[in-house]
Amino acid sequence: MSTALIILAAGQGTRMMSDLPKVLHQIAGAPLFAHAMASGAALLPEKTILIAGHGADEVRQAALDIDEDVEVILQEEQLGTGHAVAQARAALAGFEGNAFVLYGDTPFIQPETLERMAEARQHHDVVVLGFEAADPGRYGRLVMQGDVLERIVEFKDASDQERAITLCNSGVICADASVLFDLVSQVGNDNAAGEFYLTDIVAIASQAGLSATAVSCDEAETLGINSRAELARGEAAFQARARAEALDTGVTLIAADTVYFSHDTLIGRDAIIEPNVVFGPGVTVETGARIRAFSHLEGCHVSTGAIVGPYARLRPGAELANNARVGNFVEIKNAQIGEGAKVGHLSYIGDATLGDACNIGAGTITCNYDGVFKHHTEIGESAFIGSNTMLVAPVSVGDHALTASGAVITSDVPAEALAISRAKQVNKPGLGRRLMDKLKAAKAAQKKV
């Protein structure tokens, strides 16, 4: 059956104490709403609709950056969840299939849970996602009769018997799209807040002779993010799950609690991740690679057997081939590092291609930026770049070529050549001592003033 996603992301999030729309705050390097989109993507939706309100332009751009096919609809007035869902009616006109209502500030609903809801929809008109709450508090309660959901009762309206129910409402709903919009159109706003509540559709469906049920999930999936404290708890929950999944799939985490993953980090089995490593978005680490302590990686690819760090930074576009080595205090950006190549320490390699088995000495810099444009550096196979070499791009160094330590390379170096480019050393006898004595005397005079 076809599927559409309606993701509610219009709230301001005043408890976040932020100028940023709530759903643009991030967990694991992705906006909150992106996690809901990713879970829903497992259902292969034909349409994804995001209902935006506060900061709609920012939310729209962020959504389109993730999925150019998402449709963002503005909810000009925030009049409740039922009103928000109604904004998607025109966009889903003529759509035949299930519509899932998800929340942009509830990032942990799992794809498997949504799939179970889709299965339940084969036997019921409306499916609500519930959870067994350790502390039900003021959550709405799901009143069940067997597998039939009779109604959702808000805490303030519940009897003592109903308040004893621990099966609570998450707000996530699945129904046939046409049925959903028909039910939503009947929701009123005769309540203290004057809002249209999506949860009212269950009672309306029951009165219309339609069948509703509830599917239950782990409470952790339903964590909503409404404050900075909840954002921090959400981040901690994501990291705990990501670490556990990495360990379960054969990745060694020497100090698991100190490693931080992004929402899309991919690590192969038998890779070793040392303490205090941070993965930004877009990182793939292949089987058998080792990421040493205190390294930061984003937008990069590390191949089998490669070693990174300690204290290394791989920026977007860094590509390390098999058995490449990137050592301490090295930064790589938009550069391809060949198989077995070594960039040992204290170097910056940006906008470059390094051939197989080349060796980059300490303090090497590819001078890639002229203040306006970025330029490329090409270093051949088995080339040796002496320590403290400045490679002023665009420039190339041929296969098996060498550069002398301290060289400033401004012209191409042919294969197998040795490039020497530095000023002639001149020694001035006694001048060093005399200059130092003069400087010390000047400093002493300053102290007397």
Write down the pLDDT at residue 38: 96
- Contact between residue 291 and residue 271 where contact means Cβ atoms under 8 Å apart: yes
Q: Kindly state the tokens that stand for 6.
A: 């309606």
What digits encode the pLDDT tens for the residues 369-384?
A: 999 999 999 999 999 9
Alpha-carbon span 402 to 396, nearest angstrom: 12
Write down the pLDDT at residue 136: 87
What digits encode the pLDDT tens for the residues 203-235?
A: 999 999 999 999 999 999 999 999 999 999 999
Residue 384 carries which side chain, given as an amino acid letter? F
- Contact between residue 106 and residue 224 where contact means Cβ atoms under 8 Å apart: yes
| 422 pLDDT above the threshold of 90 | no
The residue annotated as part of the active site, out of 345, 375, 376, 400, is 345
Instruction: Please tell me the total number of residues recorded for the chain in this structure.
Output: 449
Write down the pLDDT at residue 229: 97
Write down the pLDDT at residue 155: 84
- The confidence band for 447, taking pLDDT boundaries of 50, 70 and 90, is confident
| 43 pLDDT above the threshold of 90 | yes
> What CATH number was assigned to the domain covering residues 3-222?
3.90.550.10
Taking only Cα atoms into account, the Rg of the chain, rounded to an integer number of angstroms, comes to 30
Homologous superfamily in CATH for domain 228-419: Hexapeptide repeat proteins (2.160.10.10)
| 449 pLDDT above the threshold of 80 | no
Alpha-carbon span 310 to 293, nearest angstrom: 5
- The confidence band for 12, taking pLDDT boundaries of 50, 70 and 90, is confident
Write down the pLDDT at residue 94: 92
Write down the pLDDT at residue 347: 98
Q: Closest Cα partner for 251 from 285, 295, 293?
A: 285
What digits encode the pLDDT tens for the residues 232-261?
A: 999 999 999 999 999 999 999 999 999 999
Write down the pLDDT at residue 192: 74
What digits encode the pLDDT tens for the residues 140-157?
A: 999 999 999 998 988 888
Domain boundary assignment for the chain: 3-222, 228-419
Contact partners, residue 344, CB within 8 Å, separation at least 6: 325, 327, 330, 359, 360, 361, 362
Helix segments in 67-169, DSSP class H: 81-86, 111-120, 160-163
**Burial letters 74-101, b for 16+ CB under 10 A, else e:** ebeebbbbbbbbbbbbeebeebebbbbb
Write down the pLDDT at residue 111: 97
pTM higher than the cut 0.85: yes
- The confidence band for 448, taking pLDDT boundaries of 50, 70 and 90, is confident
- The confidence band for 434, taking pLDDT boundaries of 50, 70 and 90, is very high
Section 325-349 average pLDDT: 97
- Contact between residue 263 and residue 257 where contact means Cβ atoms under 8 Å apart: no
Q: Closest Cα partner for 11 from 19, 1, 23, 26?
A: 23
Write down the pLDDT at residue 180: 97
Section 399-406 average pLDDT: 97
Write down the pLDDT at residue 41: 95
| 400 pLDDT above the threshold of 90 | yes
Contact partners, residue 232, CB within 8 Å, separation at least 6: none
Please provide the DSSP assignment of 50-81 as one string: EEEBTBHHHHHHHHHHH-TT-EEEE-SS---H
**Does residue 207 sit in helix, strand or coil?**
helix
* 345 labelled catalytic: yes
Section 197-201 average pLDDT: 92
| 301 pLDDT above the threshold of 90 | yes
DSSP letter (8 states) at residue 17: -
Write down the pLDDT at residue 414: 97
Section 68-88 average pLDDT: 94
| 54 pLDDT above the threshold of 80 | yes
Write down the pLDDT at residue 230: 96
Whole-number percent of the chain with pLDDT over 70: 100
30-31 and 26-27 as β-strands: parallel, antiparallel, unpaired? Answer: antiparallel
| 336 pLDDT above the threshold of 90 | yes
Contact partners, residue 186, CB within 8 Å, separation at least 6: 201, 204
Section 297-315 average pLDDT: 98
| 1 pLDDT above the threshold of 90 | no
Section 77-86 average pLDDT: 93
What digits encode the pLDDT tens for the residues 356-368?
A: 999 999 999 999 9
- The confidence band for 311, taking pLDDT boundaries of 50, 70 and 90, is very high
Cis amide bond preceding 394, omega within 30: yes
Write down the pLDDT at residue 13: 84
